[in-house]
Amino acid sequence: MKILATAKRVTDPDMKVKIKADGSGIDLASMSFKVNPFDEIAIEEAIRIREDKGGEVLVVGIGGDKAPVEIRYGLSMGGDRGIHVLAEGYLDSYIVARILKALVDKEQPDLVIMGKQAVDDDNNQASQLLAEYLGWGQACFASRIEVLSDTLARVEREVDGGIEVVEMDLPGIISADLRLNEPRYPALPAIMKAKKKEMQVLKPVDLGVNMTPRVVIEKMAEPPKRRGGRMVADIAELVRALKEEARVI
């Protein structure tokens, strides 16, 4: 079974994000980067399925010249080979899905596993768009995956009322949620071996993808700072303040 898993390079979610003074974007000068945590979970699940069913795990990253760092991390976890689509600048979900669609057409995987969202822009759109463009079935926010055969998978999803269990035909798209698994930490020998694993470099033009975005970020700004609270004399004054000043009731 061939499985395609994504490895997006994102800013470290534990670091404080600063906006450039002109509002043109995020100040990346002092930021560190890592694999999107949900993509890391997706790669781990792809490796576990391969270990059980056999086959190949293809780790795909889309981004600038630093993106191979995160792809190599996926290979050190146990991925078999990588593909880096070299694309600079902001990529909206439409472009990402179109690039992935072209790669799926090229590689013909049996299953695509992606993080449910990236922690930098939190759009939660790429997997759904990819399924639409491919005409494949999808199961979003997976908390458990069981591949029943080469053509069928069972997926558990956490919903408001409990656990929803769905079966989907393969090939298909699955997006990974937080509790799907606990990703492994690559050992030093695996990290060294990953440096020698195959990584193909492509450009969007090689895939015939139009890079004109559907979403344009015009300006970024930090949210206004919260004002300090104040004391009220009694319940009546609290109710009046909530109604007339805060306007929350």
**9-46 per-position pLDDT tens digit:** 998 888 888 888 888 888 888 889 999 999 999 999 99
| Region 65-78 average pLDDT | 97
**146-191 per-position pLDDT tens digit:** 999 999 999 999 888 899 999 999 999 999 999 999 999 999 999 9
pLDDT of residue 160: 87
Cβ atoms < 10 Å from Cβ of 220: 13
Domains belonging to the chain, first-starting first, are 2-224 (3.40.50.620)
